[in-house]
Amino acid sequence: MDPGFRHRLLQIELRLMGGCELLALPAAFFPASTMAGIHTWLGLGAMPTDLLTVYLARTTSLLYAFHGAALVFLSQDIERYRPLIRFWGVLTGLLGVLLLTIDLLESVPAWWTAFEGPVLLLMGSQLVTLTNTTASPGSAESASTK
């Protein structure tokens, strides 16, 4: 596969992941009643609306959004951040395995279990693979492969 194409694919994946995670930002500011309504609509039953549950829901949304912003930032300079992107890929894959385990132990809905952990494992694996094989067009590594 052409190094320039792999480089662009890595940029797209980082931006897609980051953009999806940035969508969590508005949820941090939803009223508790809106969060509870979405929780019920997703088939997760009644959401407790005590202080700790709402606090954790809001801070988790903010963490996802900040994580997403970092991924978009990293996508701007693949060569410079290659080791960090590779490490991020390893952590993302590990997170996928851990979330799949938690989903199975907690008996979350099947659609959630099938989507959350496996997708993160796949995305993390792709980040690691692409950072191991990607050189931007014009880089020393790319020039040596011609």
User: Half-sphere exposure of 13 toward its Cβ, with a 13 Å CA cutoff?
Assistant: 25
Helices (H), the chain: 3-22, 32-41, 51-74, 78-106, 110-133, 140-144
Q: Which residues of 71-82 are buried (b: 16+ CB within 10 A; e: fewer)?
A: bbebbeebeebb
Q: What is the DSSP letter of 28?
A: G
Q: What is the mean pLDDT of the chain?
A: 90
Q: What is the pLDDT of residue 3?
A: 79
The values of phi and psi at residue 113, to 5°, are: -60, -40
Could you read off the pLDDT tens digit of each residue along the chain, which spans 146 residues?
Answer: 677 888 999 999 999 999 999 999 999 999 999 999 999 999 899 999 999 999 999 999 999 999 999 999 999 999 999 999 999 999 999 999 999 999 999 989 999 999 999 999 999 999 999 998 755 555 555 444 43
